[in-house]
Amino acid sequence: MSDRVLIKGARLYGEGEPVDVLVSNGIIAEIGSPAVSGDTEVVEAGGQVLLPGFVDLHTHLREPGREDAETVESGSAAAALGGYTAVFAMANTDPVADNSVVVEHVWRRGREAGLVDVHPVGAVTVGLKGEQLAELGTMAKSAANVRIFSDDGHCVDDPLIMRRALEYSTALGVVIAQHAEEPRLTVGAQANEGERASRLGYAGWPASAEESIVARDCLLAQHAGARLHVCHVSTAGTADVLSWAKDRGTRVSAEVTPHHLLLTDDRLETYDPVNKVNPPLRTGGDAARLRAALAEGVIDCVATDHAPHPVQDKDCEWAVAKPGMLGLQTALSVVAETMVRTGLLDWRGVARVMSERPAEIAGLPDHGRPLETGEPANLVLVDPDAEWTVRGAELASIAANTPYEGMRLPGVVTLTLLRGRITAREGKIG
Ligand SMILES: NC(=O)N[C@@H](CC(=O)O)C(=O)O
Ligand SMILES: [Zn+2]
Ligand SMILES: [Zn+2]
C-alpha cells in the first residue's frame, strides 16, 4: 500500500471550505491543493469533517485474563473503527497490571496489533486491593512508559494510601485516575439510588458515594500539589465539586462517558443487565448537567469506559450481572447525538473533548495535535450527516454488550489514520 494518502475535500474541524490534505511519511505534508503523484491513495472526503484522532483515557481491553470478552487486538480494531488513534488500557486484568511485566506485555501486544497506540494504565495498589502502593516508579520507567495509574473498578478508598499515591505521583510526573466510589456507601448497590431503584427492589448507589470521594481527593491533590483525574463522572453534584476545585486552582481533570451523557435510569425498567454499569445510569437531570459541564470545560473530556463482558456475565439476572458496556465504536455517534445535535459543541469542540484534552491530560506528544502541516498524521474523518444502526454482533469487540442495540445514531467514522497509515476505512480495518 502507498504511504501517501490524499484526503480530497475535507472540512478541517467542520469549518470553512473543503481542502485537500496530503499525508506522507506519517505527517501532514500539505494542506490546500497538493499535486497528486502516481503512488498516492486518494480518499474522496466529499466535505466530511476532519479531526485529530481520538484519544480514550479509559478502555478495558481485558487482556490478560478475559480474552473471551476482548483482546488487545480485537479492542484495537474497535478503537480504530471508532476513530481512535490512542487508548489507555485499564489495569483490572488478570493478572493485574501492577508491575512492569504485565504493563510491558500489554504495551507490546498493542504494538503487534498496530491499529492504535495502546498505553497501559498501571494499578495504584498491589492487586487493586487498596492496601499497598504498587511500584509506580518501575512501571513509569518501564518500556511501557506508564503515565496514568488507576485502580479502576475499585476506589482507592483509604485516604492515607490515596495521599501517598498522589504525593509519589508528583515526583514521577504522572496522573492518578480515581474511580470515585466510597465503598461503605455502595455495599450491594445495583442502581442509582432513588425512587425507581426502590420500586424495582434494587439497593441504591447514592450520588454522595461519588461526590464525597471526589471532594476528598480534590483536597488531597491540592495539598500534595498533585494531578488528579476523575474517572466516569456521573452526577450533577460531582460537576459542582469539580467546578469549585478548578476555581481554587486544584490540578484536577475529569472525564464523562458517552452512556452517562445519553442514557438515564429510565433504562432500569427494561430489567436488561446490558444497562448495568458502574457508576450507574443516573437521572435525566444529571445527564443534562454532565452535558453542560462538558461543554463548559468543567468536565474536560469524553472517555468510553469501554467494558466488554462475555454473554454469560450479562445475559443473566440483574443482581449477578457484571457492570459495564461497550463504548469504543459508538462514542463519536453518542457525542454527535448529545453534544453536536443539541448545539452544545461544534466539531472543534468535539476535537477538544475527544482528542486534544485527553492527549494533554495523558501527556501524549503526538496525539490531539493541530491540523497543520508538519504535524503527525493521527487523523479521523467523520461523515456528520450519515446515520447508522448499532448492532452489537457487528461490532469488532468479541463481546456484544452494547446498550445502543438497534438505535439509529448520527455521525459515521469513515477513515482513521495512525501516523499516516490507514487503520480503518468505511467500517473495515486497514
Ligand atoms: N464501568 C464498569 O461498570 N465496569 C468496569 C470497571 C469500572 O470502570 O469501574 C469493568 O471493568 O467492567
Ligand atoms: Zn470505574
Ligand atoms: Zn472502567
Residue 232 assigned ligand-binding role: yes
- Cβ(147) – ligand 1 distance below 6 Å: no
User: How far apart are the C-alpha atoms of 77 and 396, rounded to whole Å?
Assistant: 6
The rounded distance, in Å, linking the Cα atoms of 430 and 427 is: 10
Q: What is the pLDDT of residue 105?
A: 98
- CA distances for 123 relative to 149, 179, 226, angstroms: 5, 12, 17
Pocket lining: 277 vs ligand 1, CB cutoff 6 Å = yes
- Is 305 annotated among the ligand-binding residues? yes
Kindly list the protein residues that place their beta carbon closer than 5 angstroms to ligand 3, a single-atom ion. Answer: 152, 305
The ligand placed nearest to the CA atom of residue 326 is: 1
* ipTM, interface predicted TM-score of the complex: 0.99
pLDDT on residue 366: 98
Residue 147 CB contacts under 8 Å (≥ 6 apart), including other chains = 119, 140, 174, 175, 362, 363
The per-residue pLDDT for 1 is 55
- pLDDT confidence of residue 245: 98
Cell matching residue 45: 472526503
Cα of 298 vs its chain's centroid, Å: 17
Say which residues have a Cβ less than 8 Å from residue 141's Cβ, sequence separation at least 6. Answer: none
Q: How far apart are CA 225 and CA 231, in angstroms?
A: 19
Give kind and range of the element (H or E) at residue 252: strand 252-256
Instruction: Locate the DSSP E strands across 41-142.
Output: 41-44, 49-52, 54-59, 84-89, 117-120
List, in order, residues 6 or more apart from 187 with CB less than 8 Å away.
203
DSSP state of 32: E
- What three-state secondary structure class fits 164? helix
Ordered structural domains, the chain, with CATH? 4-49+374-429 (2.30.40.10), 53-362 (3.20.20.140)
Which of 90, 128, 151, 305 for mutating ligand 1's site (highest number of atoms within 8 Å of CB)? 305
Q: Which three cell numbers stand for residue 165?
A: 499515591
The pLDDT score that the predictor gives to residue 397 is 98
Q: What is the pLDDT of residue 35?
A: 79
Q: What distance in angstroms lies between residue 116's CA and the mean position of ligand 1's atoms?
A: 21
Three-state DSSP state, 400: coil
Cell numbers for 135: 511500584
Instruction: Show the low-confidence residues of the chain (pLDDT under 70).
Output: 1-2
Residue 381: strand pairing partners = 50, 415
- Give 6 Cα–ligand 3 centroid separation in angstroms: 37
Residues 9/44, Cβ–Cβ less than 8 Å = yes
CA of 228 to the centre of ligand 2 (A): 15
